[in-house]
Structure 1
Amino acid sequence: MNTQTSTANENPAASNEVVTVREATIDLMRRLGITKIFGNPGSTELPMLRDYPSDFSYVLGLHEAVVVGMADGYAQATGNATLVNLHSAAGVGNAMGNIFTSWKNHTPIIITAGQQARSILPFDPYLGSMQAAELPKPYVKWSIEPARAEDVPLALARAYHVAMQEPRGPVFVSIPVDDWDRPCEHVAVTEVSHRVRPDPVGIDRIGDALDQCGKPAFVVGAAIDQAGAWDEIVQLAERHNARVYVAPMSARCSFPEDHHLFGGFLPPMRERIVQALSGHDFIFVVGAPVFTYHVEGAGPHIPAGAALYQLVDDPSSAALSPTGFSVVGNIALGLADLLARSQRPQRPAPEPRPAAPRAEPEPLMPVAFALQTLAEVRDPSHIVVEEAPSSRRTMQSYLPFTRKNTFITMASGGLGYGMPAAVGVALASPGKKVIGLIGDGSSMYSIQALWSAAQLGLPMTFVILNNGRYEALRDFALHFGFGKEDVVQGTALPDLDFVGLARAMGCGSVRVDRAEHLADALKEALSDDKPNLVEIIVA
């Protein structure tokens, strides 16, 4: 959301009233629409929490990574920045994995961290953070420890706008413990438009090339869903009968996966991307980098004879593009400008993508059957937050997403994001069912999120795919010369009791190890208005 300029009567800054840093900060956040603080506090954060306002809530996580994951999910679901409260150096260090994920997700988060009192910082005090503003770099857009206590509210106001400016992302403000009670003045909330219209000359160049090509392909990424441009990309693809592929490792659903123009998912491998796009003479990458690779490759980045064009909200993605022509700006505005062009080429539609074969039950339940069953019992409006890397390719075949804002995963590849992010999405989405689809190994990075879900009473379901090991790592070992029967050290995960873990943290739970019981167990869980967990034993 864009902030609105307050009038003199509404804006306390107009009166030059002297208040404390804490009072000015609370007032600023209230006017920015941020009345939830996600945190795990320590001693250096306690003064911030004194006289806590009744219209604010504090969302507690039992580990700093959980805190940031919840805030990320909440921000993605609401579209507004969230405020995170962490504890000095150790707390920021614990949170760094999910701060990195928020950076990759382009999620607007304002991270505050406590700092020791200014007067003892020269003595390297206990719980002090030396060079605090440097600690989270390079995975924040902006970082500061204000030079004076009275500058803290102004730093937070700037942090908000930096976080919200595309490409969005986390920012960091270190605040000494004795700053909160210092006198300062209120800070005005300035009005800033956080969207930038792409260069019209560049858009015309893309449009001309699109009009003149013979067989176009679109490659869509997460920024389409983040920018609210779902309808525009569907309309543009239909106008040009373009085959639509999902960019490698995309963290959002940006095109209906049951659409007749949908072509599937590009793998993060150079040669296989070229193979998948072979035959297309125009490749339009929208809202994603060109391209995200996971393993080394060789040769061209696009098929011979094809031209590549890109519309992206991140200048860094444009700068890193190995080929083609890029335009930078807001995705929704850029697509609207392309749609405003009057020419409507007539091309035959590509053949629909073949449907995956139906998965059948077996004595040891296949992942494909489990996800096919989930697809059949869930409503298309249910929101799925996924972190099951070894099952993602299967999910892409058997659990299609057909509506906007119904799928979120991590763009970083780092584990420990999905469970708390699902909690944050559920907290931001009253009246909607949220499903956390998590692997057994992934879940143990942030299992404390179950406690937060239970304490908040959220109507959500965690589905744990339990295959007893880090399956993604075993699959990847083949790339490094392991044989299919070789033992890969550190991948076995025996004796985890997810039903017991969930119950211990206040969530109802059930284990399913037979295919004939799965549909009923999922239906019951999804109809519950309290948080629960379904553990599925899969092959």
Structure 2
Amino acid sequence: MTKHSAASVPRDVPIPSTPDTTVWCSDAIADMLRALEIPFVLLNPGASFRGLHDSIVNHLGNEKPQMILVLHEEHAVAIAHGYTKVVGKPLAAILHSNVGLMHGSMAIFDAWVDRVPVIILGATGPVDAAKRRPWIDWIHTAQDQAALVRPFIKWDNQPASIGAAQEALLRANQIATTAPQGPVYVCFDAALQESKLSEAPPMPNPLRYLAPPPAQPADAQVRRAAELLSNARRPVILAGRVNRDTLAWKQRIELAEMLNAEVLTDMKIGCAFPTAHPLHAAPSGHFLNPTSREVLRAADVVLSLDWLDLAGTLKQAWENEPVASQVIQVSVDHYNHNGWSMDHQGLPPVDVFLASEPEPAVELLLQHVKKRNTPAPLRAPLPAPAVIKPGPMTVPVLAGTLRRAVGNQKVCLMRLPLSWSGDLWDFEHPLDFLGYDGGGGIGSGPGMSIGSALALKGTDRLPISVIGDGDYLMGSNALWTAANAKIPMLLVVCNNRSFFNDELHQERMARQRSRPVENRWIGQRIANPEPDLAMMARSQGLTAFGPIEDCAEFERTVTEAIALVKGGATVVIDAIVQTGYSPSMTAGLTRSD
């Protein structure tokens, strides 16, 4: 985890209120948010929660929690999501009525699939029809508002009293932070917020309502798994969804070294194992590459540490043949599956199932496994980095230039684009790379990057995001929040002026149907005119450069940008890159089997 400070964001200080003994229901709700130690609430204002808004400002003084304003509800949830990926503790996002919830629903789905806790607060009503204003209160009131997002949240509630509201917030925090973690939703009746109380209600102690400690797997299953791993001919560890804790990071390394087990990682989730370690068997990616496929297929025992899409990964290695390896699965993800979304992926074959999070399972396995003296197979050396020379940029050249400009500084790569491959940058710490967004919700990159940079503010890490142009264009007005809240970070846009992912899909269709491949760009290219991405950032108060097409100019610019970020600026660079993905990414995106 990283240290963070709620004082790191400039606070709008309200004029003190005249002392008054009146107690409003929304004041009690605000008090509970403070008791839960939520440092920030992200919001785009709305009348449905005007009572709670007033209480945060005039009852709490806009402090603990402090408001951070966003220009779109989706960004409120995305920023909270990005923040929690760094610190492991949830923020709150407040969404106005049914319309705000619909705006924020894509980001909620991202947090759900990414298994990240976010406390989403909403409002409706007044539920009592006699108290509704004509027109607007009616269209912003729903009979069951949470039904809009219930398939991809862990829990929801619409409390009808202050006692119930306090309990709902305590339960929401408890459920969100219990593995498998995820978003929760609490909806407050507008009329309830604006009601008076005869006296301040008693405040429950939040420390008595925390999430339970991580579950531990059954002893017999741990011993069986340890026996398989200790006696394996060629064990492989799939290091999947794990936390950012440095002790757990060291224990995963220790387990791999005890077993001389090869390790594979995944670019869709945060880094789980040092990629320069001799046991890291192949560059990570969004799909298996030829080397990682060979490594997995040769394994006789596979240990999955909550690997994302275990069934699909095994299928990539064995295709239509039975999986020949003994498979040990460590996960509690099955507790989340509800059937609406297919984010649970395929059903994998499992020989030993440890129903726990990876961290306690690894700690227990270390107590039972025997050291294997058989060394892991030597891996082939990685290809030499792309030669950096003046001229048009590719993503590998951009990555090499950025890496050289960073030097020995500690970096957190908060987001990387689909065109990035795992051999472009080595990760040596759990905060070196935070992974993707979970649900593939294009437009999440700017908001999530801002949230992660907020959590990193005041640390010794340089926050950098490299995102695609489509992601930037869909989420670019999140950048105003970074400027307003003075959140330093560097955002590099890999701008190929195309929705290139779908160019590959259209190429596949054309080849399959014997039609002109040359037409794949139609309906995909972001051109005629080309949006001025740097100007979009400057118009919101950020420093921005570009478009930059020459790699020598990019190198000069990124060096200047890093200095500006270290001085507290939020900087955007529009870098024009040639289209292209790594071979494994291209094959994975377009395969239909």
Query: What is the TM-score of this pair, normalised by structure 2?
Result: 0.82
State which of 164, 171, 175 in structure 2 corresponds to 1:158: 171
CA contact (8 A) 1:115 1:174 kept: yes
Q: Which of residues 269, 273, 278 is equivalent to 1:251?
A: 269
Equivalent position amino acid for 2:561 in 1: A
Residues 308, 323 of structure 1: 8 Å contact kept: yes
Q: Does 1:339 align with 2:404?
A: no
Partner residue of 2:438 out of 411, 416, 419: 411
Matched to 1:49, the amino acid is: H
Superposition deviation, residue 513 in structure 1: 1.5
Alignment map for 1:476-487 (pairs within 5 Å)? 476-482=505-511, 484-487=517-520
Deviation at 1:520, TM superposition (A): 2.2
Task: Indicate yes or no: 2:213 matched with 1:172.
Answer: no
My pick for the range that moved more, 504-513 or 141-150, is: 141-150
* 1:63-113 deviation per Cα after TM superposition (whole angstroms, max 9, x unaligned): 111111101111222211211100111111111111100001111111111
Q: Look up the match of 2:241.
A: 222
**1:525 and 2:561 matched:** yes
> Aligned partners of 1:221 and 1:302: how far apart in 2?
24
Cα gap change, 1:427 to 1:31, in 2 (>3 Å): same
Go from structure 1 to structure 2 and tell me whether the alpha carbon gap of 1:480 and 1:270 turns closer, same or farther (over 3 Å shift). Answer: farther
Structure 1 contact 301–322 (Cα < 8 Å) conserved: no
Q: Distance in 1 between matches of 2:494 and 2:202?
A: 53
Residues 133-532 of structure 1 mapped to structure 2, 5 A cutoff: 133-182=146-195, 183=197, 184-189=201-206, 190-192=208-210, 193-225=212-244, 229-247=248-266, 250-263=268-281, 264-265=283-284, 268=287, 275-291=294-310, 293=312, 300=319, 304-316=323-335, 321-324=347-350, 325-341=352-368, 343-360=370-387, 361=389, 363-378=391-406, 379=408, 381-389=410-418, 391-393=419-421, 396-408=422-434, 409-431=436-458, 432-482=461-511, 484-494=517-527, 495-511=530-546, 512-528=548-564, 529=567, 530-532=569-571
Deviation of 1:270 after TM superposition, in Å, equals 11
TM-score (norm 1): 0.89
Asked whether the equivalents of residues 443 and 470 of structure 2 are also in contact (C-alpha less than 8 Å), the reply is no
- Hey, what's the Cα distance between the residues in 1 that align with 2:286 and 2:433? 18
Distance in 1 of aligned mates of 2:572 and 2:102:
29
Give, in angstroms, the shift of residue 416 of structure 1.
1.4
Going from structure 1 to structure 2, the CA distance change for 1:239 and 1:302 (only over 3 Å counts) comes to farther
What amino acid does structure 1 have at the position aligned with 2:114? N
Identify the range of structure 1 (509-518 vs 136-145) with the bigger mean alpha-carbon deviation.
509-518
Correspondence list, 1:16-165, <5 A: 20-51=24-55, 52=57, 53-54=60-61, 55-56=63-64, 57-120=66-129, 125-165=138-178
Residue in structure 2 matched with residue 13 of structure 1 by the alignment: none
One-letter amino acid matched to 1:522? V
Partner SS, residue 396 of structure 2 = helix
Distance 1:455 1:312, change over 3 A: same
User: Contact (CA 8 Å) 2:51, 2:190: kept in 1 or not?
Assistant: yes
Distance 2:425 2:318 in 1: 33
Instruction: Read off the aligned partner of 1:31 and give its amino acid letter.
Output: A
Q: Which deviates further from its counterpart, 98-107 or 522-531?
A: 522-531
CA distance in 1, matches of 2:148, 2:193: 22
Letter paired with 1:232: Q
Distance 2:320 2:466 in 1: 33
* Secondary structure, aligned partner of 2:227: helix
Aligned-residue offset at 1:429 = 1.4
Q: Is the 8 A contact 1:383 1:433 kept in 2?
A: yes
1:112–1:226 Cα change, 3 Å: farther
Moved more, 192-201 or 300-309: 300-309
Please report how far the alpha carbon of residue 212 of structure 1 lies from its aligned counterpart in structure 2 after TM superposition.
0.7
2:5 paired residue number: none
Maintained 8 Å contact 2:488/2:570: yes
Task: Give distance in 2, aligned partners of 1:227 and 1:18.
Answer: 48
Q: CA deviation at 1:266?
A: 5.8
* 3-state SS, counterpart of residue 222 of structure 1: coil
Count of matched residue pairs:
520
How many percent of aligned residue pairs carry the same amino acid? 23
Contact 1:375/1:400 (<8 A) preserved: no
Q: Secondary structure at the match of 1:252?
A: coil
CA contact (8 A) 2:170 2:209 kept: no
Partners of 1:302 and 1:460 lie apart in 2 by 47
Over 3 Å counting, the alpha-carbon distance change for 1:273 and 1:211 in structure 2 is: same
Report the AA paired with residue 46 of structure 2: G
Deviations 1:369-417 (A, max 9, x none): 001111222246211122522x133xx2212322212212212212111
Query: In structure 1, what is the Cα distance between the partners aligned to 2:317 and 2:294?
Result: 13
Please give the alpha-carbon distance, in whole angstroms, between the structure 2 residues aligned to 1:477 and 1:226.
42
- Give 4+ residue runs of structure 1 displaced > 4 Å after superposition: 121-124, 269-276, 292-304, 316-320, 481-484
**CA contact under 8 A between 2:229 and 2:369: conserved in structure 1?**
no
Residue 577 (structure 2) pairs with residue 538 (structure 1): yes
Against the structure 1 CA distance between its residues 289 and 426, is the aligned structure 2 distance closer, same or farther, given a 3 Å change threshold? closer
Tell me the alpha carbon deviations over residues 233-277 of structure 1, each in whole angstroms, 9 at most, x when there is no partner: 111111111111114x53211111111111232654799975451
Amino acid at match of 2:326: A
SS for the counterpart of 1:235 is helix
Describe the shift of the 1:168–1:472 C-alpha distance in structure 2 as closer, same or farther (beyond 3 A): same
Deviations 1:307-333 (A, max 9, x none): 111112323589953201321212211
**Secondary structure of the residue that 2:330 maps to in structure 1?**
strand
C-alpha distance 296-336 of structure 1, shift in aligned 2 (>3 A):
closer
Please give the per-residue CA displacement for 1:111-166, whole angstroms capped at 9, x wherever unaligned.
Answer: 11111112118988131123112111211000121244541121111111000001
Unaligned runs of 5+ in 2: 2-20, 338-343, 579-593
The amino acid of 1:186's aligned partner reads M
What is the letter of the counterpart of residue 450 of structure 1? L
Q: Structure 1's 302 and 111: CA in aligned 2 closer, same or farther, altered over 3 A?
A: farther
Distance 1:334 1:208 in 2: 14
